[in-house]
Amino acid sequence: MKPLVIKFAWPLPLLLLLLLPPKLQGNYWDFGEYELNPEVRDFIREYESTGPTKPPTVKRIIEMITIGDQPFNDYDYCNTELRTKQIHYKGRCYPEHYIAGVPYGELVKACDGEEVQCKNGVKSCRRSMNLIEGVRCVLETGQQMTNCTYKTILMIGYPVVSCQWDEETKIFIPNHIYNMSLPK
């Protein structure tokens, strides 16, 4: 007996419909997500996303790379500050993070500094011409944000930053501290 497909000519549109994925059943929109605070909603979306993260806002950049309310000479500074500020990449711990002990306005001047080689494959960084105090947080244990343990290292050096163009202020602003060069 011959197969049915050979005996019956299938029209092309019907064949194409068979190749489409099945239609999802139920409600397409999750309205509960829109009832959340916008900052919480954005955090959840970024945490659960599989693609690249959206670039941080200027407010978030300032929060991530400048000192908070807690004095940074505390031995447990990195653990409390990185958890409080929620500094992570999709829930995973950063192996290393730098926090500057100066106001953001002082750090903006670093974008006018000397161009130097970055680490981690970033093409161009700028080194500040002014010595600043800062903190280097080095991951000791843990992989997920909830169990990261950092070692706090107080430093005095020249911050090496990457800069981005800010459309609002029309100037280059630092968006990440990659290193702190020690004075010679």
* pLDDT one-digit tens code per residue, 101-154: 888 888 899 999 888 888 777 678 899 999 999 999 999 998 888 888 999 999
pLDDT, tens only, 145-182:
888 899 999 999 999 998 888 888 888 989 889 988 88
Percent of the chain clearing pLDDT 70 (strictly above): 75
Q: Are 159 and 177 in contact (CB under 8 A)?
A: yes
pLDDT beyond 70 at 82: yes
What integer pLDDT is reported at residue 53 of this predicted model? 63
Average pLDDT, whole number, for the chain? 79
Query: 56-181 — its CATH code?
Result: 3.10.130.10
Contacts 24+ apart (CB under 8 A), 151-154: 151/78, 152/72, 152/74, 152/75, 152/76, 152/77, 152/78, 152/79, 154/72, 154/73
pLDDT at residue 33 in the model: 59
Contact 62, 102 (CB under 8 A): no
Domain locations in the chain?
Answer: 56-181
Q: Supply the pTM of this predicted model.
A: 0.70
Tokens representing residue 94 in the block = 């950063």
**What Å distances lie between residue 146 and 6, 87, 93, 99, 183, CA to CA?**
60, 11, 9, 20, 35
